Structure 1
Amino acid sequence: MYRNIIKLCVLIFSTASFSQAGHIMQGVGSVNMSMGGAATGQPLDISGALHWNPASISAFDDKIVKFDIGLFFSSPELRSTVPEFDTNGQPTGNFFSGNTKDDRGVSPLPSLAMVWGKEGSNHTFGASAFGISGFGVTFPESTTNPINMPQAMGGFGRIESDYILLQVGFTWAYKLSNEFSIGVEPTFNYATLALIPNPTANPTGAGYPSSDKASAIGYGAQFGVFYDSGKGFKAGASYKTTQTFENFEFTNTYLDNSTSTNSFNMDYPAVYSVGLGYSLENVDLALDYRMVDYEHTDGFSTSGWSPTASVLGFGWKNMNIISAGIQYKGVDKLPLRIGYTFSSNPISSELAFFNVPAPAIIKNAFQFGLSYKASDRFSIDGVYHYGASGDATSGPILNPQFIQNYPPYGAIPGSEVSYDMTTSMIMVGVSYTFDKVM
């Protein structure tokens, strides 16, 4: 029953969650996204506060509900080059190159949050359901791009991935004084993953198999501290633990219709965040720094080939993220916001090949948002996002049969695979504040 309820929540709130900062979302909801994701030390809305710093919900003493829905579009492009050989297996000096565009289309991106407390009470509570992580591509089979050639012709054929992570959190914050608050949030997660082909399975003479969509449940927590001077300056820090998941259990089907099963573990990395905020009469400033610890996370910390030629993991480095935003409130009932997010690339060139199914790396993201205060209780929010990966992630094509001559991963001499992408999104949200609880 518990798993079925979670599956329903995934269907509703995480139909297709695609990330821009590694495989994590840079922000949650229209207001937080429009501030570049910065909220650890500047809680402008309950969604950003719940997601980045549980202690900061102490800034709200009303019962507030917020719902957002976005339409997200990404345009990854996959390129590859391989040397050509003659009938004797000798290089001709010519190269075969091509590119394939993703054809996934537009995906919905919802989020739901609620905070409640009593005026004068030191306790504040919250609950949230966010699609916090995901990646997905659909590169169709092609005879003009080496890496997308049919498996019978030496390529991988159609390359498709679909990963979604829904996180449900229950938050409690406590005011130690008028300035300091602490917060804790136990988190419950449900993830699904499908891979075509599935590189975590053992290949046979029929190549790598396609997997069904496997699911896994995970658990973790987030802890935070928040300081509000009462004179404009604010600061916060939070630590989200590794979200530990059970294994994904795949059922695989090969091109010759034979089947197999395999397990793969992929956790969600620990995230360390610090943030500063400053508020004037008509201006709110926010700046966050985050470190995402991929190097100690199952599924990302390992890399390379197993003895049976399956892929051991993505091999990502730790990721650094800077988020900044400014809100201007000088226009009556119409706050305006501009946000920027910078993310480092966790994928090294030598491991670019292993990460073709998960290329959602956006180096620079820009956001513009606004709200309309329809009344003291009701507001409508909107944001437009545009992101670009900057330079393409590139590296050699790898083959386990080449390891002996080209260690450690078997790079094919003269080959290259590269990918880059842009993202765009329009999101709208509504927020409603109930009567104060006395």
Structure 2
Amino acid sequence: MNKNFLKFAFLMLSALAYGQAGHVMQGVGSVNMSMGGAATAQPLDISGALQWNPAAISVFDNKILDFNIGAFFSSPELSGSLPEGAMGQGSPAVSGITKDDRGASPMPALAMVWGKEDSKHTFGASAFGISGFGVTFPEEANNPMSSTFNPNLNSNPMNYPQAAGGFGHLESDYMLLQVGLAWAYEVTDNFSIGVQPTFNYAALELAPNPTASPNDAGYGISDKASAIGFGAQFGAFYNAPGGIKLGASYKTAQSFSDLEFKNTHLDDSVSENAFNMDYPSILSFGLGYSKGDIDFAMDYRYVDYENTDGFEAKGWTQTGSVAGFGWKSINILSVGLQYKGIEKLPLRFGYTYSSNPIDDELAFFSSPATAVIANAFQFGFSYPLTDNLRLNGVYHYGASDGKTEGEIMNPRMASPTNPYGAISGSKVGYEMTTSMVMFGVSYTFNKK
């Protein structure tokens, strides 16, 4: 019984989570998500505090358990077009849009804090799905290899069969589970510091796998490769008597071992390759204010993709594999407001803005990772079921800021004057919306 329960718990906590800022989740749990992810200086719940500032858990003076589970829906669209002659002399111009058919994905989060009113020490533990991306774009049926091919109808060259120069069926699954063990120390009644070692498990599956070199039949389809990573987070938190709160934290880059893929090609041959993809460092600054029925929070984050393995490199290798995503570092702004004027029903409103890590000229390389949301809006609530048990909920809606669009690339066309092998006159683009419903329960042990 215990063995089966632990296996079930691990599978739940390692479920795929979808990134909203590049591949970084904007928040964790119902309360933190409903505040737009802002918690560096406004720890309304233990999950948000453990995710963004371990020093902030010092405000909790009880043993508290928090569990959340949500259903996440995304609607990415991948578009592509080729000009006349791109597929050979006399070939027609083609264009089309392919819609994702993945469906819902689970989003779990589990956290616990141990605190005492008369102690300067507070401890916490968490298991969060903090990162992920995934798409499922089916192969284009209306393609040049089909006897019923009609270039005047919707025909997306990005999803042509590999033999016709496309990806074929394009699918990706990436997830990152992070386990943290936090300790906070109250230096004074108003100032705390915290540290949190982090342990990570990541898994990635790609069809086709562009990180591996193609053979004469094209790129292979990978199995699911996994990697272990380590890092840490450090934080400081100041809670002024007048209601002003200040916070800062730094999460180091999470260093991973290589993802080791086994790839099956279209001619049934097998190849192996290794690819390293770390999790970027994140610097956060927060401002909070609490007065009467109002709790306000605002966070600024800097996510350093430009110095992260897997995202720093860009373009093709000499053997035609993808060297890396080539993402830019991004800025994130999270704002949240909680109103407690309704008895037993605090309401929360959150907004999150994220800049786009993908340069237009490199849009092609991020086709398997289209989860880039510029603007996200959240509404949440809490309701006490008993003196010790509280129900939390949130609804999220996000959208990309227009289409990320560039040219289609072909490694065979790469040259000193055309380093990425761009096909002149071609286009590839993607945009998406996301929605999520999440509920959680927070239980306070021996609440006074």
For the superposition of Structure 1 and Structure 2, which TM-score range results when normalised by the shorter chain? over 0.9
Aligned 8 A contact 1:83 1:91 in 2: no
Partner of 2:270 in structure 1? 259
Question: Per-residue deviation at 1:376?
Answer: 2.9
Distance 1:240-1:405 versus aligned 2 partners, 3 A rule: closer
Answering whether residue 25 of structure 2 is matched by residue 48 of structure 1, we say: no
Answering whether residue 313 of structure 2 is matched by residue 324 of structure 1, we say: no
Deviation readout 1:390-420 (Å, 9 max, x if unpaired): 2111100011122227522111000000000
The separation in 2 between residues aligned to 1:182 and 1:189, in whole angstroms, is 23
Question: Per-residue deviation at 1:10?
Answer: 4.4
The separation in 2 between residues aligned to 1:172 and 1:349, in whole angstroms, is 42
The separation in 1 between residues aligned to 2:205 and 2:437, in whole angstroms, is 26
Equivalences for 1:268-347 in 2 at 5 Å? 268-347=279-358
| Corresponding residue SS for 1:55 | helix
The separation in 1 between residues aligned to 2:246 and 2:69, in whole angstroms, is 29
Question: Per-residue deviation at 1:374?
Answer: 2.5
Deviation readout 1:238-288 (Å, 9 max, x if unpaired): 000000000000000000100000000000000000000000110000000
Answering whether residue 221 of structure 2 is matched by residue 210 of structure 1, we say: yes
Partner of 1:120 in structure 2? 118
- CA-atom RMSD in angstroms: 1.6
Number of positions where the alignment pairs a residue of Structure 1 with one of Structure 2: 432
Deviation readout 1:6-52 (Å, 9 max, x if unpaired): 98654121312111111010000000000000000000000000000
The separation in 2 between residues aligned to 1:277 and 1:200, in whole angstroms, is 43
The separation in 1 between residues aligned to 2:30 and 2:310, in whole angstroms, is 31
Q: 148-157 or 184-193: which moved more? A: 148-157
The separation in 1 between residues aligned to 2:411 and 2:392, in whole angstroms, is 51
Answering whether residue 377 of structure 2 is matched by residue 350 of structure 1, we say: no
Partner of 2:192 in structure 1? 181
Q: What TM-score, normalized to structure 1?
A: 0.96
Stretches of structure 1 that go unaligned for 5 or more consecutive residues are: none
Partner of 1:111 in structure 2? 109
Partner of 1:132 in structure 2? 130
Matched to 2:55, the amino acid is A
Aligned 8 A contact 1:333 1:374 in 2: no
Aligned 8 A contact 1:71 1:426 in 2: yes
Deviation readout 1:350-406 (Å, 9 max, x if unpaired): 100000000100000000000002233111000000000021111000111222275
Q: What TM-score, normalized to structure 2?
A: 0.94
Identity %: 66
The separation in 1 between residues aligned to 2:427 and 2:433, in whole angstroms, is 21
Answering whether residue 35 of structure 2 is matched by residue 35 of structure 1, we say: yes
Matched to 1:277, the amino acid is G
Deviation readout 1:316-371 (Å, 9 max, x if unpaired): 00010000000000000000000000000000011000000001000000000000
Partner of 2:418 in structure 1? 407
Answering whether residue 14 of structure 2 is matched by residue 25 of structure 1, we say: no
The separation in 1 between residues aligned to 2:383 and 2:219, in whole angstroms, is 52
Aligned 8 A contact 2:388 2:447 in 1: no
Answering whether residue 68 of structure 2 is matched by residue 65 of structure 1, we say: no
| Corresponding residue SS for 1:33 | helix
The separation in 2 between residues aligned to 1:27 and 1:195, in whole angstroms, is 26
Answering whether residue 245 of structure 2 is matched by residue 247 of structure 1, we say: no
Partner of 1:426 in structure 2? 437
Answering whether residue 228 of structure 2 is matched by residue 230 of structure 1, we say: no
Stretches of structure 2 that go unaligned for 5 or more consecutive residues are: 143-154
Matched to 2:128, the amino acid is F
| Corresponding residue SS for 2:167 | coil
Partner of 2:145 in structure 1? none
The separation in 2 between residues aligned to 1:179 and 1:165, in whole angstroms, is 34
Stretches of 4+ aligned residues off by more than 6 angstroms: 4-8
Deviation readout 1:94-125 (Å, 9 max, x if unpaired): 52001100000001111000001111100000
Matched to 1:19, the amino acid is G
The separation in 1 between residues aligned to 2:301 and 2:158, in whole angstroms, is 34
The separation in 1 between residues aligned to 2:415 and 2:326, in whole angstroms, is 20
Aligned 8 A contact 1:71 1:427 in 2: yes
The separation in 1 between residues aligned to 2:319 and 2:276, in whole angstroms, is 17
